[in-house]
Amino acid sequence: MSRILYIDDEKDETTAAIADGLRISGQLEITLESPQPFKAQKQFFLEHLKEYDALILDLRLDGRELGIEYNAPAIAQELRMASAENLVKSIPIILCSTEAKMKATYDVDKTSHDLFDYKFQKQSNPPWERFSLKINSLANGYKLIEECKYILQDILHRDLSGFNPSIFEKFVGIDRPFPIHEYASFIIKELFHHPGLLIKEKLLAARLGIEIDKSEGWQELLEKVFSDCLYTGAFSDGWKRWWFDSIINRYKELTGKRIASLNAQERVEQLIQATKIKKIVAAEPIEYSNSTNYWTICEFHKKPLDPLEGFKIHTSNEPKSWQENKYVSLDAVLKKRLPKPHSSELERIDQIKENIKRK
């Protein structure tokens, strides 16, 4: 069981409810504390942080009359510096707050984002199981990185020699390892959150041409055919991902075909023939789309999409050369659904809208 220190200035009944919610899974042991003045809080961490596996901080720590004049990013910055100097144990730092406070403070301060491994919102009917799963995975992952002696291929459970070395160059040939949170940030924010080397389940289904909701054989296919492609390294117990190069190779071994050369119906037919798993169904296009040469998903509908019929979305950071863009469908754009398209797509969108009006 992971030991979690939770610091929040909200009323006792509010924080107690959050702590109880996080305990539901049985994976987390929560210790709830009120914040102390900055120097006292820092000293407390120096003396006691070694007793915990993760830290949860409320974004704003000055809500009650406690004499607190700092927020979560300020103390998190001190902790990251102290852990880099081996003054305190390196543990995951998780941010929590209301949606309104997140938007007003955290979302606009991009410089503080790298300080935190994960964030969740205080809300009605929260998904406690998911929050607990992620937090426990972070605690386990930090321990694994240290146990692997900061060797990236051991941390990722994968031979990395076949990939472009520039992807991992930050961690190669250095005199001393980076702090653990640098490895965690790279894995979660660069590998997990951006499609590229690793992809999530809905994107995997799209590239196989499959409609998950209509396919009773989907889980059987994952477990019996593509289990060897599953990512098993650090944080894999909280974020389920697949190595896409392994998926490509496995599909070619099974069918003798290149997956990118087939449309959805053909991809599914080839899988059925090769695996004898019949309860999988080809995905139909989203409204206003026609192609079934799926290679991405619409970030609003979470449905398969041909990127040639989609529109790149706006992101705070442009994808790296080895990462892929995310897209929204025309249907989502016309209905003005989030996320919003990239500015480079606006002229094309206007032209399409004009063409629709003429019809």
Average pLDDT (147-157) is 96
DSSP 206: H
How far apart, in whole angstroms, are the C-alpha atoms of residue 8 and residue 5?
Answer: 10
Asked if the structure places residue 326 within a domain, the reply is: yes
CATH number of the domain encompassing residue 94: 3.40.50.2300
- Structure pTM? 0.93
Domain count, the chain: 2
Kind and range of the H or E run holding 31: strand 28-33
Tokens of 3: 């030991």
- State the residue range of the domain holding 340: 292-359
Give 74-90 pLDDT, tens digit per residue: 999 999 999 999 999 99
Asked if the structure places residue 247 within a domain, the reply is: no
Kind and range of the H or E run holding 131: helix 128-147
Average pLDDT, the chain: 93
Give 11-30 pLDDT, tens digit per residue: 778 889 999 999 999 999 99
Asked if the structure places residue 300 within a domain, the reply is: yes
Asked if the structure places residue 238 within a domain, the reply is: no
Looking at the chain, the whole-number percentage of residues with pLDDT higher than 90 is 82
Asked if the structure places residue 258 within a domain, the reply is: no
Q: Does position 69 have pLDDT exceeding 90, yes or no?
A: no
Last residue of a domain, one of 90, 122, 143: 143
Last residue of a domain, one of 143, 163, 178: 143
Q: What's the pLDDT at 113?
A: 78
pLDDT band at 281 (very low <50, low <70, confident <90, very high): very high
Q: Which SS3 state, helix, strand or coil, does residue 299 take?
A: coil
Asked if the structure places residue 96 within a domain, the reply is: yes
Asked if the structure places residue 215 within a domain, the reply is: no
Give 283-342 pLDDT, tens digit per residue: 999 999 999 999 999 999 999 999 999 999 998 788 999 999 999 999 999 998 889 999
Of 64 and 83, the structure prediction assigns the larger pLDDT to 83
Asked if the structure places residue 281 within a domain, the reply is: no
Give 103-142 pLDDT, tens digit per residue: 666 665 666 778 999 999 988 889 999 999 999 999 999 9
Question: Mean pLDDT lowest for which of 6-15, 35-44, 210-219, 265-274?
Answer: 6-15
Q: Pairing relation of β-strands 296-297 and 304-305?
A: antiparallel
Last residue of a domain, one of 91, 110, 143: 143
